[in-house]
Amino acid sequence: MKKHLLALVILGAFASAAPAQSNVTLYGTIDAGLIKRTDQRVAVGKRANNTLGFRGTEDLGNGLKALVHLEIRYEPDTGTNEIGANGAQRPLFQGQSRVGLQGAFGMVRLGRGLTALQESIIKFEPFHGLPHTAGFYTDLAIAGYTSEPLNMAGNSKNRFSNALWYNSPEVGGFQLNATISTREANGGPAVVGRGTPALPQYPANSQASTNPYSISATFKRGPAAFMAAMERNAVETDLWSVAASWYVIPSLNLMASYQRQDEEHTRLFNQETRAWVVGLNWTLGPGKLLAGFGRKKPDGLPSTRQLSIGYEYSLSKRTYLYADASNKKNQTDARYYAVGINHAF
Amino acid sequence: MKKHLLALVILGAFASAAPAQSNVTLYGTIDAGLIKRTDQRVAVGKRANNTLGFRGTEDLGNGLKALVHLEIRYEPDTGTNEIGANGAQRPLFQGQSRVGLQGAFGMVRLGRGLTALQESIIKFEPFHGLPHTAGFYTDLAIAGYTSEPLNMAGNSKNRFSNALWYNSPEVGGFQLNATISTREANGGPAVVGRGTPALPQYPANSQASTNPYSISATFKRGPAAFMAAMERNAVETDLWSVAASWYVIPSLNLMASYQRQDEEHTRLFNQETRAWVVGLNWTLGPGKLLAGFGRKKPDGLPSTRQLSIGYEYSLSKRTYLYADASNKKNQTDARYYAVGINHAF
Amino acid sequence: MKKHLLALVILGAFASAAPAQSNVTLYGTIDAGLIKRTDQRVAVGKRANNTLGFRGTEDLGNGLKALVHLEIRYEPDTGTNEIGANGAQRPLFQGQSRVGLQGAFGMVRLGRGLTALQESIIKFEPFHGLPHTAGFYTDLAIAGYTSEPLNMAGNSKNRFSNALWYNSPEVGGFQLNATISTREANGGPAVVGRGTPALPQYPANSQASTNPYSISATFKRGPAAFMAAMERNAVETDLWSVAASWYVIPSLNLMASYQRQDEEHTRLFNQETRAWVVGLNWTLGPGKLLAGFGRKKPDGLPSTRQLSIGYEYSLSKRTYLYADASNKKNQTDARYYAVGINHAF
């Protein structure tokens, strides 16, 4: 084995400098830990998305660049593609699959990925926008909204397929981001909406009744950052969001966001859902404290409250250990405890 | 196990140079654009195959080389594996998965990939043998023939699984290529053929009734190239093809092909299908004009006519923008327009 | 976002060196050959696992290292993910998906992979623990036992999902290895066991009735190596194994193993299965001879006998040709012949 490696090193020197011919960077993250949920046995699970990505840029001259970004998502505990609701396997490149151009005009991309609103809100969510239970991103930070109601069952709630992205240059701290999707059917499940199970408002594999779109504006000034965003999905549900963050001191970032979801196109009652999240990231030497509290309230329905605390201890720039504790209260309490490791490569 | 750990330690020492120790080249292409079809809304789609590949060669001495080639295919607009008919996901390595040896005797490969005929005809098809609607490759250039009628539903029409490839050396401009497959069942759908839906000629997951094989001979002389090929698939359908191309001037390549498909083993009527395609590739500075016209005629059935024009504008050796327009007329007109970007990495 | 773009710009500037910025090593193997089985036609198949892996280590200082290992498994003859029983596709990272830490204390890993017993027994199996028919690993060398009876249908018989691994340092030739899994349900099929098809002992998607665990102790001294191991799976089936190997001369390694499987938790009769395997690996210049004989005997049921001989001819450190012949006799003879090529990259 050692000889084998030695041979590889030599080959790497010149003969097979093959990989150096490539124009794409391979990267990824792996995250696994032990999780305890109320009324459930200890399980092996994840805190962060697990990614294996391929990213490249090509200088086309005149300040123009071509971009490609493909990102596999997977589950280390079972070795499968990323799993969504009901155990459905998500697309191979669940993270994103986009090609584009970048220049003085900004950046234009085509493919599948997080919407403009979803890409922006992450910076204002105290758990890095991670998908795990202690985080607020997948529920409260978007008021329970989903960006892809007509996409394949089990898909994430944060992406557009068949979409076009535009990101403006950052001018005086201000940036505009927009995403618009076609109305293509994506093999999604039926959405009953204002119909009946027998006669759903959107039958299985429906086309969108509008072009889904997402817009966000961000503004940075010194220690402060602000966001205002609006999104409409394929079943004409709207999400409004405003958010702000402030570095009180370089090691302490406070953040807050307010969201409102409007489902009047698919609901007769309980059409409005309001939610807010406040939180902080506090760097303490090699450690970082994450904390947040939030509330979600659909009108006419009981509210959901969530309190989460997390701690990250860095073993290096690429590797950290973490511990999280969370309580989510709707009718009942749902407690969640996790310890694990996160490694970037 | 200790050796394994030792290996990891060593790898750790060379961590930053680790990929250079690999013997495989990572490469790929991503293509996405906007497509408008007759009676359909604008969609995000592709013009070229989207690939993420792993390719390696090892010098074994005495002019002998070992070869490996694995090629993932995917859809950027939805992030999934390549999708075939009826939305079926194709194999992870849909592009190809082959291992082989190359030497003075030529090249021998085992695995799955394009057949000898399909690999050869591409050079005589005016749209680079791309799978999109404006191209002729998937239908007219092969007279509607499929290489894998008994493979999994949704598979491409151009490959053999469980096959052995031989490519001769090029001698005086002449090269011989051959592919032969085993008769293994591949979990394919039933082929009714001369049977009935209740009693199909080939039930689901049938074995081939013959060893599928494919042979092509190519000849190059100065500005001219010629091909003659014959293939028989798993249900004993035959395809004959002859093709020629000619560089009138270095920037202008004219090409033409004639094909005949014989389905007498599975049909009582309309057994013969004849097709021809003529086209050109014209390089104009950073631009390239693609144009083609073709006709497919199954005896006793109406003919299909296709006219396609495309233009590629290169931003670099690896990136180009394109625009295509096509009209395919059978009983009715099917118009197709596309603009997009293609980036190789 | 701008910073992200900046990062991409920088990556672009160093494009040709981009892969060197990664911290993961890409590696793999591809194996394909021609196989003839009793009463079956010649098929294209594999002898070894086909892998495409991503492996990385990070030095954390103080002798501590972070480890990541992801391994794709695939079938070159059809281009799919690795296929299990009944054609079921296995997880993308069927090989393994683990993250961990290594230091003076040994190595701790979380995720999915071979159990401690399965990782250890490989060194005492005369066909490198390869999964093919001529080898003993998948049946006799583990007395027909499976490590994952409640995992997804078609999964291998050798792994734990949702598990924690510990490997001690090697001290005086002695090493201890342990794996323990959670009791999470993994979407597996029903296990009838002592129940009935209508009322199975373990219904589909059951949780384990115990925490599956696996322990192995190995000892190396000069030319000799020994192993003792015990494992209990999710349906409380036990496997005991002892094995030894001895380098008579540096080029000749003799090996033997004895296994006992106890299924009393799920069977009323034929609860005990005993098996043994003896074999050798003999290096002869560029060639290597593999040979083995084994027997499996469930009490009250007929025994299975297997005799296998293989020969490997190295074209390089990374590439070899092989030929295998095997006869497995239960009620009837099952003969198996294979020739092929194995290439590591």
* Tokens matching residue B114: 């394009």
B13 to chain C: closest CA residue: C59
Domain presence at residue C190: yes
**Cα three-residue angle C131-C137-C138, rounded to 5 degrees:** 65
Closest partner residue to C79 (CB to CB) among B64, B97, B184 is B97
Q: Which domain holds residue B330?
A: 32-45+108-344
Domain presence at residue A327: yes
pLDDT at A87: 84
Q: Across residues B302-320, what is the average pLDDT?
A: 97
A-chain residues within 8 Å CB-CB of B87? 187
Sole residue written with tokens 């005929």: B117
Counting the structural domains of chain A, the total is 1
Closest partner residue to C43 (CB to CB) among B22, B91, B182 is B182
B339 to chain A: closest CA residue: A110
Which has the closest alpha carbon to A204: A216, A191, A214? A191
Spatial distance between the Cα atoms of B67 and B167, rounded to a whole number of angstroms: 13
A64 to chain B: closest CA residue: B315
Spatial distance between the Cα atoms of B72 and C111, rounded to a whole number of angstroms: 25
Letter for the amino acid at A175? Q
* CB atoms B98 and C76 under 8 Å: yes
* CB atoms A91 and B76 under 8 Å: no
B-chain residues within 8 Å CB-CB of A20? 20
Find out whether A328 and A302 touch, Cβ atoms under 8 Å. no
B-chain residues within 8 Å CB-CB of C58? 12, 15
pLDDT at B8: 34
Q: State how far the alpha carbon of B300 is from the alpha carbons of B55, B263, B272, in Å.
A: 46, 14, 9
Reported as type and span, the H/E element at residue A146 is: none
pLDDT at B36: 97
Tell me the nearest-neighbour CA distance from B23 into chain C, angstroms: 5
Model confidence pLDDT, tens digit, residues A27-63: 999 999 999 999 999 999 999 999 999 999 999 999 9
Which has the closest alpha carbon to A34: C235, C184, C55, C117? C184
Tell me the nearest-neighbour CA distance from B111 into chain A, angstroms: 23
Query: Residue B153 — very low, low, confident or very high, per pLDDT cuts 50/70/90?
Result: confident
Three-state DSSP class for B272?
Answer: strand
Closest partner residue to A17 (CB to CB) among B20, B41, B59 is B20
Which has the closest alpha carbon to C248: C281, C285, C286? C281
In terms of phi and psi (left: phi > 0; alpha: psi -120 to 50; beta: otherwise), the region of A133 is alpha
Domain presence at residue C14: no
Model confidence pLDDT, tens digit, residues C24-36: 999 999 999 999 9
Q: Which residues on neighbouring strands pair with residue A243, listed in sequence order? A: A227, A257
In terms of phi and psi (left: phi > 0; alpha: psi -120 to 50; beta: otherwise), the region of A122 is alpha
pLDDT at C22: 64
Letter for the amino acid at B145? Y
* Tokens matching residue C210: 């115990």
Spatial distance between the Cα atoms of A166 and A148, rounded to a whole number of angstroms: 19
Answer yes or no: pTM beyond 0.90.
yes
* CB atoms A164 and B20 under 8 Å: no
Tell me the nearest-neighbour CA distance from A190 into chain B, angstroms: 17
Those chains having 3 or more beta-carbon pairs within 8 angstroms of chain A are B, C
Those chains having 3 or more beta-carbon pairs within 8 angstroms of chain B are A, C
Closest partner residue to A315 (CB to CB) among C13, C60, C111 is C60
What CATH number is associated with residue A339? Answer: 2.40.160.10
Closest partner residue to B112 (CB to CB) among C78, C175, C340 is C78
Model confidence pLDDT, tens digit, residues C252-262: 999 999 999 99
C-chain residues within 8 Å CB-CB of B13? 59
Sole residue written with tokens 């006669």: A199
* CB atoms C26 and A23 under 8 Å: no
C-chain residues within 8 Å CB-CB of A28? 24, 54, 68, 70
* Tokens matching residue A86: 């009901």
A-chain residues within 8 Å CB-CB of C207? 41
pLDDT at A22: 63
Spatial distance between the Cα atoms of A186 and A153, rounded to a whole number of angstroms: 10
Letter for the amino acid at C26? L
Spatial distance between the Cα atoms of A189 and A171, rounded to a whole number of angstroms: 42
Beta strands C252-262 and C238-249 are antiparallel
Mean pLDDT of chain C: 92
Spatial distance between the Cα atoms of C345 and C325, rounded to a whole number of angstroms: 27
A79 to chain C: closest CA residue: C93
* CB atoms A161 and B79 under 8 Å: yes
pLDDT at B23: 85
In terms of phi and psi (left: phi > 0; alpha: psi -120 to 50; beta: otherwise), the region of C76 is alpha
pLDDT score of B205 more than 80: yes
Q: What is the dihedral of CA A150, A154, A157, A159, to 10 degrees?
A: -70
Spatial distance between the Cα atoms of A316 and A139, rounded to a whole number of angstroms: 31
Domain presence at residue A50: no
B69 to chain C: closest CA residue: C30
Model confidence pLDDT, tens digit, residues A289-320: 999 999 999 999 999 999 999 999 999 999 99
Spatial distance between the Cα atoms of A149 and A234, rounded to a whole number of angstroms: 7
Find out whether B8 and C106 touch, Cβ atoms under 8 Å. no
Which of B21, B316, B321 should be substituted to probe chain A, the one whose Cβ sees the most A Cβ atoms within 10 Å? B21
Letter for the amino acid at B28? G
B-chain residues within 8 Å CB-CB of A56? 345
Spatial distance between the Cα atoms of B171 and B105, rounded to a whole number of angstroms: 11
Domain presence at residue B18: no
* Tokens matching residue A119: 């890409």
* Sequence-separated (6 or more) residues with CB below 8 Å from residue A26: A52, A53, A54, B19, B26, C19, C22, C24, C26, C54
Closest partner residue to C41 (CB to CB) among B60, B101, B183 is B183
* CB atoms B319 and A19 under 8 Å: no
Spatial distance between the Cα atoms of A133 and A338, rounded to a whole number of angstroms: 10
The rounded percent of chain C whose pLDDT value lies above 70 is 94
* Sequence-separated (6 or more) residues with CB below 8 Å from residue B40: none
Which has the closest alpha carbon to A156: A129, A185, A174, A183? A129
Find out whether A136 and A277 touch, Cβ atoms under 8 Å. yes
* CB atoms C26 and B11 under 8 Å: no
ipTM associated with this complex: 0.91
Low-confidence ranges of chain C (pLDDT < 50): 1-21
Which has the closest alpha carbon to C153: C76, C231, C74, C87? C87
Spatial distance between the Cα atoms of A186 and B259, rounded to a whole number of angstroms: 36
Q: What is the dihedral of CA A230, A233, A238, A239, to 10 degrees?
A: -50
**Cα three-residue angle B318-B321-B325, rounded to 5 degrees:** 135
C-chain residues within 8 Å CB-CB of A44? 110-111, 161-164, 182, 184
The rounded percent of chain B whose pLDDT value lies above 70 is 94
- Angle between helix B2-13 and A2-13 (nearest 10): 20
Three-state DSSP class for C97?
Answer: strand
* CB atoms B44 and A11 under 8 Å: no
Three-state DSSP class for A64?
Answer: strand
Tell me the nearest-neighbour CA distance from B1 into chain A, angstroms: 11
pLDDT at C50: 97
Spatial distance between the Cα atoms of C180 and C222, rounded to a whole number of angstroms: 31
Tell me the nearest-neighbour CA distance from A288 into chain C, angstroms: 18
DSSP of B49-74 = --EEEEEEEEEEETTEEEEEEEEEEE
Euclidean distance between the first and the last CA atom of chain A, given in angstroms as a whole number: 23
Model confidence pLDDT, tens digit, residues C268-323: 999 999 999 999 999 999 999 999 999 999 999 999 999 999 999 999 999 999 99
Spatial distance between the Cα atoms of B124 and B120, rounded to a whole number of angstroms: 8
Query: What DSSP designation does B147 have?
Result: S
Q: Which residues on neighbouring strands pair with residue C83, listed in sequence order? A: C89
Domain presence at residue C99: no
* CB atoms C99 and A76 under 8 Å: yes
Low-confidence ranges of chain A (pLDDT < 50): 1-21
Side-chain-facing half-sphere of C6: CA atoms under 13 Å: 4
A-chain residues within 8 Å CB-CB of B77? 97, 110-112, 161-162, 184
* CB atoms B91 and C80 under 8 Å: yes
Q: State how far the alpha carbon of C315 is from the alpha carbons of B58, B61, B66, B68, in Å.
A: 10, 9, 9, 15
Taking the mean position of all CA atoms in its chain, how far away is CA C107? 19
Domain presence at residue B10: no
* CB atoms B5 and C107 under 8 Å: yes
Tell me the nearest-neighbour CA distance from A283 into chain B, angstroms: 28
Spatial distance between the Cα atoms of C303 and A195, rounded to a whole number of angstroms: 63
* CB atoms C66 and A175 under 8 Å: no
Spatial distance between the Cα atoms of B157 and B121, rounded to a whole number of angstroms: 13
Backbone angles phi, psi at A57, to 5 degrees: -135, 150
B14 to chain A: closest CA residue: A9
Letter for the amino acid at C37? R
Domain presence at residue A83: no
Three-state DSSP class for A121?
Answer: helix
Closest partner residue to C161 (CB to CB) among A23, A78, A319 is A78
pLDDT at C59: 96
* CB atoms A44 and C183 under 8 Å: no
